[in-house]
Amino acid sequence: MKSLSQIFAGLAAGAICFMGSAQAQIIAVPPMVQVSDLTGTLSDSDKADLGAKVQALEKAKGSQLAVLLVPTTGDEDIEQYAHRVFESWHLGRKGIDDGVLLIIAKKDKHLRIEVGRGLEGAIPDITAKRIGSDVIAPEWKKGNYAVALSVGVDMLAKLITDEPLPKVGAKPAPALTTDGDVALIACLAFGLGGLALLWVFIRNRKATSQGAPTDEGTRPERPRDMAHTALGAALAVRAARAGSSSPPRRRAAESSSSHSRSDDDDSSSSGGGSFGGSDSSGSSSWSGGGGESAGGGASSDL
* In a domain? residue 270: no
Asked whether residue 34 carries a pLDDT value surpassing 50, the answer given is yes
In 237-275, which positions are buried (b, 16+ CB within 10 angstroms) versus exposed (e)?
A: eeeeeeeebeebbebbbbbbeebeeebeeeeeeebbbee
Do 245 and 152 lie in one domain? The reply is no
Type of residue numbered 107: K
Do 191 and 254 lie in one domain? The reply is yes
pLDDT of residue 127: 97
Query: What CA–CA distance (Å, rounded) separates 248 from 4?
Result: 65
Greater model confidence, 77 or 260: 77
Greater model confidence, 8 or 290: 290
Query: What CA–CA distance (Å, rounded) separates 79 from 299?
Result: 7
Across 24-31, average pLDDT = 86
Do 33 and 156 lie in one domain? The reply is yes
CB–CB of 181/241 below 8 Å? yes
CATH code where residue 114 lies:
3.10.310.50
Across 124-137, average pLDDT = 97
Burial class (CB in 10 A: 0-12, 13-18, 19+), 20: exposed
Across 3-31, average pLDDT = 63
* In a domain? residue 99: yes
Do 79 and 129 lie in one domain? The reply is yes
pLDDT of residue 302: 93
* In a domain? residue 35: yes
Q: Count the domains in the chain.
A: 2
Domain range for 56 is: 28-166+282-301
Greater model confidence, 55 or 258: 55
Do 146 and 69 lie in one domain? The reply is yes
Query: What CA–CA distance (Å, rounded) separates 116 from 293?
Result: 6
pLDDT of residue 287: 59
Asked whether residue 66 carries a pLDDT value surpassing 50, the answer given is yes
- pTM beyond cutoff 0.85: no
Do 291 and 160 lie in one domain? The reply is yes
Greater model confidence, 173 or 195: 195
CB contact set of 252 (below 8 Å; sequence gap of 6+): 96, 118, 163, 164, 165, 166, 173
* In a domain? residue 189: yes
Determine phi and psi for 49, rounding to 5 degrees.
Answer: -65, -45
* In a domain? residue 227: yes
Share of the chain above pLDDT 90, in %: 48
What does pLDDT average to over the chain? 74
pLDDT of residue 75: 94
Do 211 and 162 lie in one domain? The reply is no
* In a domain? residue 12: no
198-210: pLDDT as tens digits: 777 677 776 666 6
pLDDT of residue 225: 55
Model confidence band, residue 187 (pLDDT cutoffs 50, 70, 90): low
CB–CB of 55/104 below 8 Å? no
Strand bridging mode 64-70 / 99-105: parallel
Do 112 and 43 lie in one domain? The reply is yes
Model confidence band, residue 254 (pLDDT cutoffs 50, 70, 90): very low
In 162-191, which positions are buried (b, 16+ CB within 10 angstroms) versus exposed (e)?
A: ebebbbbbbbbbeeebeeebeeebeeebee
134-170: pLDDT as tens digits: 999 999 999 999 999 999 999 999 999 999 999 887 6
Q: How many CB atoms lie within 10 A of CB 2?
A: 8
pLDDT of residue 291: 62
Do 60 and 197 lie in one domain? The reply is no
Do 90 and 157 lie in one domain? The reply is yes
Do 54 and 160 lie in one domain? The reply is yes
pLDDT of residue 293: 63
Greater model confidence, 233 or 253: 233
pLDDT of residue 230: 52
Across 81-93, average pLDDT = 95
pLDDT of residue 295: 76
pLDDT of residue 9: 54
Burial class (CB in 10 A: 0-12, 13-18, 19+), 200: buried
* In a domain? residue 86: yes
* In a domain? residue 67: yes
Model confidence band, residue 182 (pLDDT cutoffs 50, 70, 90): low
Asked whether residue 37 carries a pLDDT value surpassing 70, the answer given is yes
Do 231 and 161 lie in one domain? The reply is no
